[in-house]
Each structure stands twice: as C-alpha cells, then as structure tokens.
Amino acid sequence: MIFLFDFRLFSQEFIRPVVTNYGVWKLRECIIIRLVDSDGNVAFGEVSPLPWFGSETMEDALSFCVQLQGKISQDGIFQIPDFLPACQFAFESALASLQKNQQLINYENLDFCGLLPSGKDAINQCLILENQGYTTFKWKIGVEDTDTEIEIFKLLISQLPSSAKLRLDANGGLNFDSTKLWLSICDQFSEQVEFLEQPLSADKFGEMLELSNVYQTKIALDESIATLQQLKQCYQQGWHGIFVIKPAIVGSPSRLKQFCQQHPIDLVFSSVFETEIGRKAALNLALELSNYHRALGFGVQHYFRETELNWLENLWNKN
C-alpha cells in the first residue's frame, strides 16, 4: 500500500529553559508528518529528535522526509533505517493509527512523574506540582556542584510527604566518586528516593553495573539505552535493573513491543517534550507495555504555554 505523505516543521519555546548536564535548552523543534491512505483517511506522527541522546538530528530527519517526494509504502515505513529512530517512531505510529482505532487515553487516570527544574528552583516548583496532585517527582542533578545539590536534595526530601517518590537524573554528569556519594546519601532516604538515573556516561556501563550491586538505591539506565539496539545490548550484557525508555527516540515501536514481550523488564517511560501528537502515540505504547507500578515520565506540560486548539489544522493551512 502506498500512502501520500506530507510534513511540516513546528517549534515551541519552553516557558523556562531546560537546564541539564548538556547545557541550556530553550526551543523544542519537531517535524509533524501526515499520511493519507487510498480511502482518504488521515493520520499524523511526530519526529522529535534528541541528538545529544543518540537519535538523528533534525537535519537528518528533514533530509529523509524531503527525499520521500510525497509518498511512502507500508514496506518502506518498516524499512526506515535504524540510524533514524525518531523517524521510525513517527511513521510507525502514524501507520498504526490508520490501521486501527487508537486507545482513548484518560489522562486523569494516569500517574505522571512531574519534572522539576534544576537547582534550588526545584523547591518551589515541587510545592506547585504537589498541589496539582503529583506524588512522583524528577529532579536534574549534575548541573551545579555536588555539595550544593546535596543541600537542595535534603530540603526537597524534607518537604515531601513520606508517600512521595523522588527520582534523581544526572544525565551522565557524575563521576565514579560522586556517584558513590549520591548513592550512599540516597540509601539514607530509601523510602523516598525511587532511583538514580544515568549517573555516569553511556560508556561507563560496567561501572554502573558494578554499583547497582553494591547500594540499596536502584540505578536506572537512560542515555545508555536511548535506542532499541542499545537497550538490547545492555540487557544482553547483564542489566536487569530499571530501563528508562523515551518512545519518541527509541526506534521502531513494533520491534520494541516484540522485545519487551519476550523479555519482561522494569520499564519507565519518559517524554522528550513532544507535542500532543507524539505524546498520544508514546502513551499508547507505554500503556501497552508498562508494568504500571512506576509513574510515567510525562509530567512536563508546565514547561510549555498552552497551544491553540486548532494548532495542527492551522499548521497545514498556513503552509
């Protein structure tokens, strides 16, 4: 089957920049794709690359879309190469929505993890999100010096209710000694710290595997398993801890489903700051594969201004 294909560029500024170990991120850019089948049915997908995590760049994704020259076959969708994982996700998600009715997601019934800003701003934002009903929070570390962040961490812990959970995400920004320090401190608050995410860079897999067997606090892999190929490799090398999956950049949803169904793993699904197009597709995948005992890492809506109701229709009409 051949589908007509079209695409548009879209971008959103963050209300506040996202500050991580990688630097300051001010603008989220993506490509919205549209497939039309022979009966005139329309479906959309979203290409939201995150190149510093290991996906293709926007330029790579744009080049792929341009060279399609307005059409793509079903076989062509499943043959998108692995070095374009965000494109794989977008096209397969759009195809799936054409082929079957997507699950209607009741967001009120989902448990989301709220993303906090780095540094001391996390304290006020945590109170705001707590008042909105969040019970799980994610805080970026490895941005300021370790002693300062540990002080902020203790303030955060002290203001959280005992039932709340806190995830610490270093984005690979710690060294071996600072990781041990964080793990030892987190062990003192094991009832509230859910896990320490990607403390070391992806090339330090052996060290993270070693530390995961020493401390009570769980370690979660993120950058190390950005794509499905990396996820499989880490699993085969003995990682049976927590896997943080970003559906929008992991690659082929169908192959991810197959792997997870054959190898039950402890999954946490996480956002890459998608629009509602990518968010819906990612959450459908998460609900199909998730073991439901961990909050979904999609509590990021407070980083964007509310988009206009007809933004998608207007995006096509003005181009």
The verdict on whether 140 is a catalytic residue reads: yes
Cα–Cα distance, 51 to 58 (Å, whole number):
8
Burial of 81: CB neighbours in 10 Å, binned 0-12, 13-18, 19+: exposed
**Going by C-beta distance under 8 Å and a sequence separation of 6 or more, which residues neighbour residue 40?**
none
Cα–Cα distance, 245 to 132 (Å, whole number):
25
What token pair was written down for 255?
């192959």
Helices 146-159/176-187 angle, 10° precision: 20
Give the residue among 205, 113, 121, 129 at the shortest CA–CA distance from 168. 113
DSSP annotation string for 271-290:
--S--HHHHHHHHHHHHHH-
Strand partners, 38: none
Please pick, among 138, 165, 204, 246, the residue that the annotation labels catalytic: 246
Please pick, among 140, 165, 204, 280, the residue that the annotation labels catalytic: 140
The verdict on whether 246 is a catalytic residue reads: yes
| In the chain, alpha helices (H) | 58-67, 74-78, 85-99, 121-131, 146-159, 176-187, 205-212, 228-236, 247-250, 253-262, 276-289, 311-317
Give the residue among 7, 3, 105 at the shortest CA–CA distance from 47. 7
Catalytic residue numbers read 140, 246
